[in-house]
């Protein structure tokens, strides 16, 4: 798996369900309020750390990325 595939797994064919499952698992383990769950919503892109122990949700518009939430996990 390439670095890009690890960082942006939702761009890998057939991986969308796995990405949501991994994201949900991290939120259930580390999220502490309802804002944390925004990251599992459809349309949110996700970036995972190289170790897979952290995830950041964001949307991309033109040349800007806006991070979802605001409450740390």
Tell me the domain boundaries of the chain: 3-67
**What's residue 72's pLDDT?**
53
Question: Quick check: helix, strand or coil at residue 68?
Answer: coil
The secondary element (H helix, E strand) that includes residue 61 is strand 55-61
* Alpha carbons 51 and 65: distance in angstroms, whole number: 22
pLDDT in tens, 6-36: 555 555 555 678 888 999 999 999 888 888 8
Average pLDDT, the chain: 79
Q: What is the DSSP string of 32-45?
A: -SGGGGGGGSTT-E
Q: How confident is the model at residue 38 (pLDDT cuts 50, 70, 90)?
A: confident
- Helices and strands, counts by H and E, the chain: 2, 3
Average pLDDT of the residues in 46-66: 89
**What's residue 16's pLDDT?**
74
Instruction: Indicate the burial class of 14 (C-beta count within 10 angstroms; 0-12, 13-18, 19 or more).
Output: exposed
pLDDT(5) > 70: no
């Amino acid at each position: 798996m390439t670095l890009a595939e690890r960082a942006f797994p939702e761009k890998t064919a057939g991986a969308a369900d796995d990405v949501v499952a991994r994201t949900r698992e991290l939120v259930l383990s580390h999220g502490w309020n309802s804002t944390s769950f925004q990251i599992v919503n459809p349309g949110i892109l996700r970036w995972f750390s190289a170790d897979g122990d952290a995830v950041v949700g964001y949307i991309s518009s033109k040349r800007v990325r806006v991070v979802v939430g605001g409450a740390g996990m």
